[in-house]
Chains A and B, each alone.
Chain A
């Protein structure tokens, strides 16, 4: 250090002093950091799980499962750092084809949307599908699976639970309460009353139904429900076993009823070129009075950016059956939506722990974040539930005889033919007889 000068003492010595002070401070911070890291390390090592790496192939029409699983994986990272979640989507109509390709190349992701039954059973034979009930028993989370959801899945998959019920839905008619009130329409109790209500609305220039012709299944749901209503809950099982044919007059009658709705213009002009999202928008923007859909749509109904009507303006009534039919008077189809299957070849122990975490928390997270009901048990209902969610929870609890849907037991080909030909059925380009004949041909051969 240079000799002290009168003027420069302060400037000369301050840098040195500052340097020492800074060094001491830095050392202190470093020590503190080491202690903190040490502390957290010792605190963490006790509960850390191995990192899980999840990849998921799903259909792009859904906006709930992937984001929700992603958010839950982010929370899971706290106990399993380094975990990752990757999601890729494809259009619904490409699902069977993509799964088949990936399965034949042994390139299936860990989680994938379940394809049509025939393909799924072929894959199960090759050991590419986890039996969820057995797996959950092994993981000790069987009690987190809602029994009714497991029962529905067993009904679809011939006695086995081959998918995760990320949804548990009822289906029915959602209606615009304001339009009904303004036009003096009461909730219909029979099919004939529903058709009469639609006629009234059409006469006043209001589009009665919103439906997606591109998806096709919102229209074939109506055909299926009419069949169940008229012929009983086993009417479509009889088709699979060959005891009845879709070309039998009673079955064609159901297709005729739906074709008549289309002929009278009750689905609006653009039904054949509406996809799922735009059709829902038609309803949620108040341009149509009724929307037949499953309760998975609650995620969108509870979302104020999509739902312009407001949750209070949407009502629900079960599909009104045909009077004098063999089936119940009010049909409540129940399903697990588009379920998700697990690839056992990628179910490592680390991923199994992640699966256990999901099983324990998915029910609550879906309810809390989206107001959606799933096939996983909700341990703690949020204090404030949307009225629509309460309605669905109640309906799920009281439905004793659920029915499936038109294509539930069909092969991939029959499902595609049925869904593709729905739009021509309602635009009058295909007669009910040809529709049923085309689907029957796909079912039998």
Chain B
């Protein structure tokens, strides 16, 4: 075994197929896309070299900055709520629902496996106002809070809230299970000794459990940030970027530019901007984590 793994040629032979596929499917299109940023046009009308014009347009494009702001807002809100609620649920599973937690865990995880479009249709009907009131508006009407009845998906800020609610509801179960797995790994003896020392409840969690949960929490955050910055299906299924461009993230903006307006070059520039954003945030998160560990 050692002989094989030390032989460079053997390593190359084992890695080559996967590396080839990876290059063809992931790296080549990235380079291709970067080349597109210097051109304008599409497959039907042909391509024309325009140098840095796309980036110049990007910087002055109001819609791009709106999309960027929405992406960051959405990412921050969903990440915070997903992980926080997941953590709360995991703590509940371990410390309160010791025996019944299997059933509750399954129920909470169930929305994760539902198709996005089905969930979006569900939420669209729940928050509907026309032709009939949906569940939320009917409920508000029933408790005489008519001032709160509104077109939830018809205004940008409330549409963002509905979107965040939908995505958090859908995925908090996943984070709950992930963090539960991490919590279960915390040695029981440490918790016992901490309890003997007088720590209980919130202090136990804050000073003993959370630090030990650190690595799992960190990877949950990475998962979450990665997924929310690249959101596409939830947005398209619920609001299609509307009303107007109020809930259009960078991914959808790039998609519209490429395939609806036929501007592959500009869309590639937007994609490059999104990649740079993801890179910066990842570096920031890793930098923060590294600092934490050395403390």
| Chain A interface (Cβ < 8 Å from any Cβ of B) | 93, 96-97, 100-101, 103-104, 118-119, 122-123, 126, 213-214, 268-274, 278, 281-282, 285, 287, 411-413, 416, 420-421, 423-424, 427, 429-430, 438, 445
Whether the pair B151, A420 counts as a contact (CB closer than 8 A) is no
Distance from B248 Cβ to chain A, minimum over Cβ atoms (Å) = 9
Given contacts A423-B243, A423-B244, contact A412 B261 (CB under 8 A): yes
Given contacts A104-B44, A213-B154, contact A272 B243 (CB under 8 A): yes
- Known contacts A100-B262, A274-B130, A420-B242; can you find 17 more A-B pairs with CB under 8 A? A96-B262, A97-B260, A101-B259, A118-B262, A122-B262, A123-B44, A213-B154, A214-B242, A269-B129, A270-B131, A273-B130, A282-B130, A412-B262, A420-B245, A427-B243, A429-B244, A430-B244
Whether the pair A424, B262 counts as a contact (CB closer than 8 A) is no
Q: Is B101 an interface residue (CB 8 A)?
A: no
A-B contact pairs, 17 of them (CB 8 A): A96-B260, A96-B261, A119-B44, A119-B262, A122-B262, A126-B44, A214-B242, A269-B129, A269-B149, A271-B151, A271-B154, A278-B131, A282-B131, A285-B131, A412-B260, A413-B261, A420-B244
- How does the 8 Å CB contact mask read for B230-250 relative to A, with 1 for contact and 0 for none? 000000000011111110000
8 smallest CB-CB distances across A and B, nearest first, come from A270-B130, A272-B154, A104-B43, A424-B244, A413-B261, A270-B129, A97-B259, A122-B44
Given contacts A100-B259, A420-B241, A420-B245, contact A427 B154 (CB under 8 A): yes
Q: Is B256 an interface residue (CB 8 A)?
A: yes
Whether the pair A429, B156 counts as a contact (CB closer than 8 A) is yes
Q: Is B128 an interface residue (CB 8 A)?
A: yes
Q: Is B42 an interface residue (CB 8 A)?
A: yes
Whether the pair B260, A413 counts as a contact (CB closer than 8 A) is yes
Given contacts A100-B42, A104-B42, A430-B244, contact A272 B259 (CB under 8 A): no
Chain A contacts of B207 at CB under 8 A? Answer: none
Whether the pair A268, B259 counts as a contact (CB closer than 8 A) is no
- How does the 8 Å CB contact mask read for B19-50 relative to A, with 1 for contact and 0 for none? 00000000000000000000000111100000
Whether the pair B260, A416 counts as a contact (CB closer than 8 A) is yes
A123, A273, A278, A282, most chain B CB atoms within 10 A: A273
Q: Give Cα A193 to B128, complex, Å.
A: 33
Distance from B187 Cβ to chain A, minimum over Cβ atoms (Å) = 52
Q: Give Cα A70 to B153, complex, Å.
A: 37
Whether the pair A268, B130 counts as a contact (CB closer than 8 A) is yes
The one of A96, A104, A278 that contacts B130, using a Cβ cutoff of 8 Å: A278
Chain B contacts of A281 at CB under 8 A? Answer: 131
Chain A contacts of B156 at CB under 8 A? Answer: 424, 429
Residue of B nearest to A274 (CB): B130
Q: Is B150 an interface residue (CB 8 A)?
A: yes
Q: Give Cα A270 to B134, complex, Å.
A: 11
Q: Is B141 an interface residue (CB 8 A)?
A: no
Chain A contacts of B259 at CB under 8 A? Answer: 97, 100-101
Given contacts A97-B260, A101-B259, A413-B260, contact A272 B44 (CB under 8 A): no
Distance from B85 Cβ to chain A, minimum over Cβ atoms (Å) = 27
Q: Is B155 an interface residue (CB 8 A)?
A: yes
Distance from A14 Cβ to chain B, minimum over Cβ atoms (Å) = 67
Q: Give Cα A87 to B286, complex, Å.
A: 52
Q: Which residues of chain B in 113-142 are interfacial with respect to chain A, using CB atoms and an 8 Å cutoff?
A: 124, 128-131
Whether the pair B244, A421 counts as a contact (CB closer than 8 A) is yes
Distance from A327 Cβ to chain B, minimum over Cβ atoms (Å) = 28
Distance from B154 Cβ to chain A, minimum over Cβ atoms (Å) = 3
Q: Give Cα A144 to B177, complex, Å.
A: 67
Distance from A155 Cβ to chain B, minimum over Cβ atoms (Å) = 24
Residue of A nearest to B45 (CB): A122
Q: Give Cα A411 to B42, complex, Å.
A: 14
Whether the pair B246, A424 counts as a contact (CB closer than 8 A) is yes
Distance from B237 Cβ to chain A, minimum over Cβ atoms (Å) = 12
Q: Give Cα A95 to B131, complex, Å.
A: 26
Q: Give Cα A445 to B43, complex, Å.
A: 19
Whether the pair B129, A427 counts as a contact (CB closer than 8 A) is no
Q: Give Cα A282 to B131, complex, Å.
A: 7
The one of B43, B150, B246, B256 that contacts A416, using a Cβ cutoff of 8 Å: B256
Q: Give Cα A100 to B44, complex, Å.
A: 8
Distance from B56 Cβ to chain A, minimum over Cβ atoms (Å) = 12
Whether the pair B154, A93 counts as a contact (CB closer than 8 A) is no
Distance from A261 Cβ to chain B, minimum over Cβ atoms (Å) = 16
Q: Give Cα A228 to B263, complex, Å.
A: 31
Distance from B87 Cβ to chain A, minimum over Cβ atoms (Å) = 34
Q: Give Cα A420 to B260, complex, Å.
A: 13
Chain B contacts of A438 at CB under 8 A? Answer: 63
Chain A contacts of B130 at CB under 8 A? Answer: 268-271, 273-274, 278, 282
Q: Give Cα A287 to B130, complex, Å.
A: 11
Chain A contacts of B45 at CB under 8 A? Answer: 122
Whether the pair A213, B243 counts as a contact (CB closer than 8 A) is yes
Given contacts A96-B260, A273-B151, A282-B131, contact A423 B242 (CB under 8 A): yes
Residue of A nearest to B259 (CB): A97
Q: Give Cα A427 to B130, complex, Å.
A: 15
Q: Give Cα A108 to B144, complex, Å.
A: 54
The one of A96, A272, A413, A424 that contacts B153, using a Cβ cutoff of 8 Å: A272
Chain B contacts of A287 at CB under 8 A? Answer: 131
Residue of A nearest to B156 (CB): A429
Distance from B80 Cβ to chain A, minimum over Cβ atoms (Å) = 26
Q: Give Cα A103 to B44, complex, Å.
A: 7
Whether the pair A270, B256 counts as a contact (CB closer than 8 A) is no
Chain A contacts of B44 at CB under 8 A? Answer: 100, 103-104, 119, 122-123, 126
Q: Give Cα A445 to B58, complex, Å.
A: 12
Chain A contacts of B153 at CB under 8 A? Answer: 272-273
Chain A contacts of B129 at CB under 8 A? Answer: 269-270, 273
Whether the pair B241, A270 counts as a contact (CB closer than 8 A) is no
Whether the pair B242, A429 counts as a contact (CB closer than 8 A) is no
Chain B contacts of A214 at CB under 8 A? Answer: 242
B42, B131, B149, most chain A CB atoms within 10 A: B131
Distance from A100 Cβ to chain B, minimum over Cβ atoms (Å) = 6
Chain A contacts of B151 at CB under 8 A? Answer: 269-273, 427
Chain A contacts of B150 at CB under 8 A? Answer: 269
Q: Give Cα A427 to B44, complex, Å.
A: 37
Q: Give Cα A46 to B24, complex, Å.
A: 57
Q: Give Cα A413 to B260, complex, Å.
A: 7
Distance from A149 Cβ to chain B, minimum over Cβ atoms (Å) = 27
Distance from A352 Cβ to chain B, minimum over Cβ atoms (Å) = 25
Distance from A210 Cβ to chain B, minimum over Cβ atoms (Å) = 9
Q: Give Cα A274 to B261, complex, Å.
A: 25
Chain B contacts of A427 at CB under 8 A? Answer: 151, 154-155, 243
Whether the pair A429, B243 counts as a contact (CB closer than 8 A) is yes
Distance from B6 Cβ to chain A, minimum over Cβ atoms (Å) = 48
Residue of B nearest to A270 (CB): B130
